[in-house]
């Protein structure tokens, strides 16, 4: 129902033939926040030779919203290898910026590919993750007689009962993983024989 994301930002450093490769990773929810992080890293290391980057916004392996840049390195030697590491990692919503300080020795195309990909992999290896769940909130109203049946339905779909109100009808405010919303709606209809209303909060459906 969710997928792994980074818990926080992290920084690791590797060295290849006296060139320093600093990998900064961050969790991001949009392409705009990914770009903002890239700009921040450029500002942090203004004297670096290159600031190459890659990002994946969405679930692990998703290519719907991706980006990458070689930032002056030979074409295909930095951004693409970095992106490949991110796409094959079990983590989503992530941006990686690898800052290079040139050490005086040219690494060649193969060496650059290994160095940039290795820098990202080293950063990911030590970065803690946690599951991200896209929650939707909804309000269910119906007869009091259906209260127990509804409470049994929610756990089957990972839904949580947030608030219960007792007015003319029974009211349940729940939050449910977005991927389970349709299934929960159907189950509520079945459990109440179509006599309950199911309203999704407008601000959680964007």
Domains and CATH numbers, the chain: 2-131 (3.30.230.30), 134-204 (3.30.70.240)
Tokens 């195309």 locate to 109
Average pLDDT over residues 129-140: 90
| pLDDT at residue 163 greater than cutoff 80 | yes
pLDDT band per the 50, 70, 90 thresholds, residue 184: very high
| pLDDT at residue 205 greater than cutoff 50 | no
Instruction: At 173, list the tokens.
Output: 């405010």
Q: What percent of the chain has pLDDT over 90?
A: 88
Q: Distance of CA 172 to CAs 17, 126, 196, 206, Å?
A: 62, 41, 11, 22
Q: Contact, 142 vs 191, CB < 8 A? A: no
| Contacts of 164 by beta carbon, 8 Å cutoff, 6+ apart | 170, 171, 172, 173
Q: Contact, 85 vs 61, CB < 8 A? A: no
**Residue 48 backbone phi and psi in degrees, to 5:** -75, 160
DSSP symbol at 89: S
What pLDDT, on the 0 to 100 scale, is given for residue 56?
97
| pTM for the model | 0.71
Q: Contact, 94 vs 86, CB < 8 A? A: yes
- The per-residue b/e assignment along 85-94, b for 16 or more CB within 10 angstroms, e otherwise, is bbeebebbbb
pLDDT, mean over the chain:
93
- Cα torsion through 179, 185, 187, 189, rounded to 10: -170
> Residues 5-39: pLDDT tens digits?
999 999 999 999 999 999 999 999 899 999 999 99
pLDDT band per the 50, 70, 90 thresholds, residue 173: very high
| pLDDT at residue 199 greater than cutoff 70 | yes
What pLDDT, on the 0 to 100 scale, is given for residue 2?
74
Q: What percent of the chain has pLDDT over 70?
A: 97
């Amino acid at each position: 129902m969710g997928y792994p994301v980074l818990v926080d930002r992290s920084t690791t450093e590797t060295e290849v033939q006296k060139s320093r490769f600093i990998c900064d990773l961050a969790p991001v929810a949009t392409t705009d926040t990914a770009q903002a992080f890239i700009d921040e890293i450029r500002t942090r290391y203004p004297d670096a030779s290159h600031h190459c980057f890659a990002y994946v916004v969405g679930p692990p392996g998703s290519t719907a919203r991706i980006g990458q840049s070689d930032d002056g390195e030979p074409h295909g030697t930095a951004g693409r290898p970095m992106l490949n590491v991110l796409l094959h990692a079990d983590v989503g919503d992530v941006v990686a910026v690898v800052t290079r300080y040139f050490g005086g020795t040219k690494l060649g195309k193969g060496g650059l590919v290994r160095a940039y990909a290795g820098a990202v992999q080293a950063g990911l290896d030590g970065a803690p993750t946690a599951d991200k769940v896209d929650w939707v909130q909804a309000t269910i109203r119906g007869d009091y007689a259906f209260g127990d049946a509804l409470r049994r339905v929610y756990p089957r779909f990972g839904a949580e009962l947030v608030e219960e109100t007792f007015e003319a009808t029974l009211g349940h405010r729940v939050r449910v993983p977005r991927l389970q919303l349709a299934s929960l709606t159907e189950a509520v209809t079945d459990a109440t024989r179509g006599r309950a209303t199911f309203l999704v909060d407008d601000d959680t459906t964007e």
